[in-house]
Amino acid sequence: MSGFSGPNVHQFMVQNNRHQTLSSTVIVASLVYMCFGPASAAGQDLLARRNTAGLLPTDCRRFVETNPPKDASPTSDALKTLLACYKTAKRELSARAVPTIVSATTADGAPAKVADTLVAANAANTATNQWLLRQHINLKALDRWVGRYADTSRRANEWPPELSELLTSSEESHTTLEAMLAQRGLRELFSATLVTGAVVGNGRPVDEGSGGEQTAAALAHVVWESKHFGDDRFERFDFALGGRFGFVPALSLVEPVDDSAPAESEESPQAVYQEAFLWDLGARANLRANGQKSAEVSLGVRIGQTILGTQSVLLDRGQSSVLSVPIANGATKAELFWEAALAYNLFNNPMEVVHGEGSTVAPAFSASIAWRHDSRFRGEGALASFDAPDERLVFRFMIDALKVIDRREVAEKPRTFTFGFGVEHEAPLRRGGTTVPSGTKLIFRGDIDLLRALRGQ
């Protein structure tokens, strides 16, 4: 076994298991601390978000920053203040309805570069979106007080005349705001993104000492997600549905066909990445990370199916190739899987903008640890003697939209293109005995205008 035998193999597997367990513990502990942290810090972070939730007058903020008591009774002063708050919100919304014009000239009157104008327009658009979404949060907070006052008045059979005017003003403000949100494509029910790139996979054999098998494949799938239900409240929790469908290379355990393997070789079953079509559907609960306006921690579950594109694969063995097929354990080309994952996502914009624009499907950085049950590795047939082969542990991280600078001559503006890189490592959950070996996927993504690049622009 190329230098591994007897006690050496056992010691290697035990050390690997300890390292894997320690890494998992460190990742989980880090995510939990980022979520909750000290109790006082969590409270201060929530209060800070409330205080910066919009541009309402000071008298209105006390309604935004506090929850109405169950027995809140409407007073004339409170109703008048709330009415003034709605009128102020409507007036500001009407003023914002005029599109922001980005100047096409610089401060000295010279024509601005197209790239600079686009950057300024994007910044102005993001600022307007953030303002609108925070006003949406403000109005939702005011609505809670109006609803509580209305319930109290109905129970007491006393309906103040100011309350009717207040309900009308609330409806008018919401109508104006919803029209502006719809015009800018905010608050859509679903959003999706197309993920494309190249994948280089390396799977290990059951015999740990005999090397691995490297393959390359294309990545092309759609990631979709619903709106985050509950994100317009002040609580830090929200809930979303989501899923994927498309072509994603999948780890498979194959063995050589008897006629294709050289007589002098002793090929062991080999983990290798094969082209596959994948779909899944899941749900996740999200918690805004403590002290971070652009990050959230998620706990989710999902179920899906992996459909292999072909049953056979050629393994390169130098001067010859070995034809291999999935190991005979009763599994078919299409098998179900389910998993539970803890993830950390970091975005380029505040969460109010991210949720409103539906860009939660494309975080700038993401990391996760998941437990997966994969029916393709069921413990039957040739895998009957394996130790829990269908129980897997998956580590993932992805950093996207990196701006790679192509430096030029002195005083020439650097040129950039965006690049993304990720790693997915899949390993057996139990490593005490013989089991399905581990595999690693390297994911590469890029975004560059080839025509402009060829012209040196």
289-299 pLDDT per residue, tens: 776 778 999 99
Q: What is the pLDDT, as a whole number, of residue 49?
A: 43
Q: What is the pLDDT, as a whole number, of residue 147?
A: 87
What are the φ/ψ torsions at residue 195 (nearest 5 degrees)?
Answer: -105, 115
Residue 328 contacts residue 304 (beta carbons within 8 Å): no
Angle at 89 between CA 84 and CA 95, to 5 degrees: 125
DSSP three-state, residue 389: coil
Lowest mean pLDDT among 80-84, 201-205, 256-260, 404-408: 404-408
DSSP three-state, residue 273: strand
Instruction: Please state, rounded to an integer, the average pLDDT across all residues of the chain.
Output: 77
Q: What is the pLDDT, as a whole number, of residue 300?
A: 96
pLDDT digits (tens, 9 = 90+) for 170-181: 888 888 888 888
pLDDT over 70, % of the chain = 71
Whether 287 has a pLDDT exceeding 80, the answer reads: yes
- Separation CA 52–CA 227 (nearest Å): 23
Q: Which region holds residue 349: left if phi is over 0, alpha if psi is between -120 and 50, else beta?
A: beta
Residue 280 contacts residue 305 (beta carbons within 8 Å): yes
Give the bridge partners for 193, in sequence order: 223
Strands (DSSP E) along 55-150, which ranges? none
Q: What is the pLDDT, as a whole number, of residue 63?
A: 82
DSSP three-state, residue 226: strand
- CA end-to-end distance (rounded Å), the chain: 54
Average pLDDT over residues 23-38: 51
